Structure 1
Amino acid sequence: MDGVVCGSFREAAERLGLIEADNTLDDCLTEAEQWAMPCSLRRLFATILVHCEPGDVCGLWDRHLEPMSDDYRRTRTSPNEVEQMVLLDIRGMLQSMGKDSIDFALPTIDDAFDPTEGEAREIIEESTVEFDESDTKLSSSLNLEQRAAYDEILLAVERGDGGVFFVDGPGGTWKTFLYRAMLAKVRGEGKIAIATATSGVAASIMPGGRTAHSRFKIPLSCDDGASCSFTKQSGTAKLLRMASLILWDEASMTKRQVVEAFDNSMRDIMGIRHRPFGGKTVVFGGDFRQVLPVVRRWSRGQIIDASLRSSHLWKRMRQLRLITNMRAHNDTWFADYLLRVGNGTEEADDQGNILLPDDICLPSPGEVDDLEKLIDHVFPSLDDNMSDSNYMTSRAILSTTNDNINKINIRMIEHFHRDEVIYHSFDSAEDDPYGYYALELVVRGFERNTIDAEIVIGQHAGRRVFLPRIPLCPSDNDMFPFKFKRKQFPISLSFAMTINKAQGQTIPIVGVYLPNPVFSHGQLYVALSRATAKRNIKILIQKEKPKEKSNKQNNNPKKRKRPTVSLLTSMKNIVYKEVLTG
């Protein structure tokens, strides 16, 4: 294998990447050291500690301390001080992942070297969030609806008597613009404003944004009466008590039990049980026209019951509605059409199908090459732009199911005429589940045990990261009769993505592939409203053709009928109107 005669079948399998070798993590760090900056190496080391189950932490530390400390050694002469600075940096990264250095067999940290003097890491992070100075001027550009929301929310912050608000607006009403203005105003006054979102993509586009589950330590599985996992003495609790404004975007996507768990914990740490969120000013944002919380195998009624509108907190929220400046695509008719689709008021036939604009639909004879036409529309001149990350991240094809997405991604990969790299996953049955963390990134380099990548969107755009294989477990305990664990690189191709995954994203150029109908509330509305202009949307609707009869006429090429090119412009639109008016 690789020019080496192996001494055993196991060694050969290890070299082929079919089973995990004992030194995989060591090799992962060694490979990254060829390109990585010391800070990136330290983050990779922390990631390995938290997610990759290293057996010899002390050995990894001793062998890789020097490359991880290269930047500190340039400015400090004391080896002990250099080691302490590396330890402090890694401790901060571990704490951001919910762990601490004392959880691992690392050298002891001398707090005399800690410049924070014991201040909670969470408070330091939020107090030092960098925001664009131009954001402080955004308030002068708000429209009347945005300005009314801005003034009312900031008045509650100024008074300090709290309030709960819900900013309701369809895609394109510049909700993020409003959030950035409020965050800049509060932070500019030296106060703490916490920015979170249900999805990682939505969180990444706000300065200092984090997912709500990460920031508030919300359990992945929440039942009625649940609470967050932080204690009253924790850094998270101290941060929340100091916060003047708490913002939670895309709240319509989350289950009500998750928001109620946060409410329970806020009332507890604030010591004010009779007021929502303990009397804090909390702003939720979202659009109930979009997809609702995903609940496997639940009925329509159960899904609606899981939505935020069904929470006892909903009636305590002040509604702030945005409609003006909806992303109109320079086409007021299409903006109104999107609203009718989202509200379920667009005229439909007795099967629930609505008509789509002809100019956004691709003609289809129902052939395999139809998908290639859609790809050409979304990814024109692909050969000339394969290495352009801006080109790649400004377009995507959306569809309903993972099977469709995999089909498109495989087809896209076939367009790349270069050597392919195949990574094997390592499967086992285990008892310890691990969380999955996601980044929007492009890959810069492939090695056997690490992937060199760069974050390309959001507040961390341009940051270089190195990924090891990470153990992942299904969150649904009913899928297998045992705990199944798969160790793999936490990435997937995203030339195409599911409609649900695209929620919260603005994608300049969008293709929509619908070989089968949408199947849940808001899917069609989300698919149509992701692009920045009507001219940048193309939809391919395919209907299954009836099977041809096997007879002599069909086998005769001269008598076989040519496929008729048809323009399919109708599609099912599923809207749960009760969740829009509840």
Structure 2
Amino acid sequence: MASRLSTDFLKDVLSSNLLFGGKVVFGGDFRQILPVVQKGTRQDIVNASLCSCYIWSECSVLRLTKNLRLTMGGPSSDVEETKLFAKWLLDIGEDNVGGSNDGVAMIDIPDDLLIKDSLDPISKLFDFVYPDILLNCENQHYFQDRAILAPTNEIVDEINDSLLKFFPADEVEYLSSDTICSSEYINGTVDAALYSPELLNGLRMSGLPNHKLMLKVGVPVMLLRYSTINYIFGYSCS
């Protein structure tokens, strides 16, 4: 949040009586990025947001009306379909779908977005996102336009394991190194109960690969490079 000292300072620098001298721009997705209030309730978080700040009444809200990312490239039919999907998502965020609600509402999902097979929904999802995957697995552009999003790491692992079974090659198991670093030793000893291999191998968190990695010949692998921190993992073939 801005302080009154900064607003007065900019007024003096810009020789203007407008808020911030009329030269400050706030940007961001306020639907997804909320302020962090330690042990705060929903009301506390709303009260700490920019829309509840004392300067909000003096701000002008500017809205982008044309999404250049969606309108550039690709057939016109795909662009129009993407526009409709983007508008549907935006209507959900602005409570324009499902009627008025107090945080809970029923939303009608379009039929073309639904997987109606309750017996084997994962296979139907693969058929929709990755049609003819075995014929296109060597096409580098095939996977660039396709992705499956999942809410948790457990579901990601489940989807990857199921998709791996589509490939006919033999599975190869790679295990990460679970040796304790020598810097963790105190006076030449270490408490094995605190750093047991079972504990290290069971860690599952965002940004870190699992202890066991299953691969097949022809299966694409995504490599991520972090700009601020370099993660180095060692795997040995079992």
Q: TM-score with structure 2 length normalisation?
A: 0.51
Report matched runs for 1:158-307 at 5 Å: 260=1, 267=6, 272=9, 281-288=23-30, 290-293=31-34, 298-307=40-49
Calculate the aligned-residue CA RMSD, in Å. 4.8
| Kept after mapping to 2: 8 A contact 1:292/1:303 | no
1:405/1:284 CA distance change after superposition, 3 Å = farther
1:419 matches 2:157: no
| Aligned mates of 1:347, 1:304 — CA distance in 2 | 22
One of 133, 154, 165 as aligned partner of 1:403: 154
One of 346, 351, 366 as aligned partner of 2:97: 346
| Aligned mates of 1:306, 1:386 — CA distance in 2 | 49
| Aligned mates of 1:385, 1:294 — CA distance in 2 | 44
| Aligned mates of 1:333, 1:387 — CA distance in 2 | 32
One of 370, 383, 387 as aligned partner of 2:121: 370
Larger helix percent: 1
Letter in 2 for 1:323: T
1:280/1:379 CA distance change after superposition, 3 Å = farther
| Aligned mates of 1:344, 1:396 — CA distance in 2 | 27
1:384/1:422 CA distance change after superposition, 3 Å = farther
| Aligned mates of 2:135, 2:51 — CA distance in 1 | 48
1:169-216 CA-to-partner distances (Å, cap 9, x unmatched) read xxxxxxxxxxxxxxxxxxxxxxxxxxxxxxxxxxxxxxxxxxxxxxxx
Instruction: Classify the secondary structure of the residue corresponding to 1:319.
Output: coil
The structural deviation recorded for 1:340 is 2.6
1:467/1:292 CA distance change after superposition, 3 Å = closer
- Structure with larger RCO (C-alpha < 8 A, sep 6+): 1
1:47-76 CA-to-partner distances (Å, cap 9, x unmatched) read xxxxxxxxxxxxxxxxxxxxxxxxxxxxxx
1:330 matches 2:83: no
Report matched runs for 1:29-44 at 5 Å: none
1:381/1:323 CA distance change after superposition, 3 Å = same
Count of equivalent residues? 176
1:450-488 CA-to-partner distances (Å, cap 9, x unmatched) read xx9576xxxx9xxxxx9543xxxxxxxxxxxxxxxxxx5
One of 344, 357, 382 as aligned partner of 2:133: 382
1:273/1:285 CA distance change after superposition, 3 Å = closer
1:314/1:361 CA distance change after superposition, 3 Å = same
Alignment partner, residue 218 of structure 2: none
The structural deviation recorded for 1:363 is 1.0
Letter in 2 for 1:409: N
Alignment partner, residue 361 of structure 1: 114
The structural deviation recorded for 1:334 is 5.3
| Aligned mates of 1:385, 1:420 — CA distance in 2 | 24
| Percent identity between the two aligned chains | 28
| Kept after mapping to 2: 8 A contact 1:453/1:467 | no
Alignment partner, residue 540 of structure 1: none
Letter in 1 for 2:114: C
1:334/1:421 CA distance change after superposition, 3 Å = closer
| Aligned mates of 1:338, 1:314 — CA distance in 2 | 26
| Kept after mapping to 1: 8 A contact 2:11/2:20 | yes
Larger strand percent: 1
The structural deviation recorded for 1:352 is 1.2
Report matched runs for 1:48-67 at 5 Å: none
The structural deviation recorded for 1:374 is 0.5
Letter in 2 for 1:285: G
1:426/1:282 CA distance change after superposition, 3 Å = farther
| Aligned mates of 1:415, 1:394 — CA distance in 2 | 20
1:340/1:391 CA distance change after superposition, 3 Å = same
Q: TM-score with structure 1 length normalisation?
A: 0.24
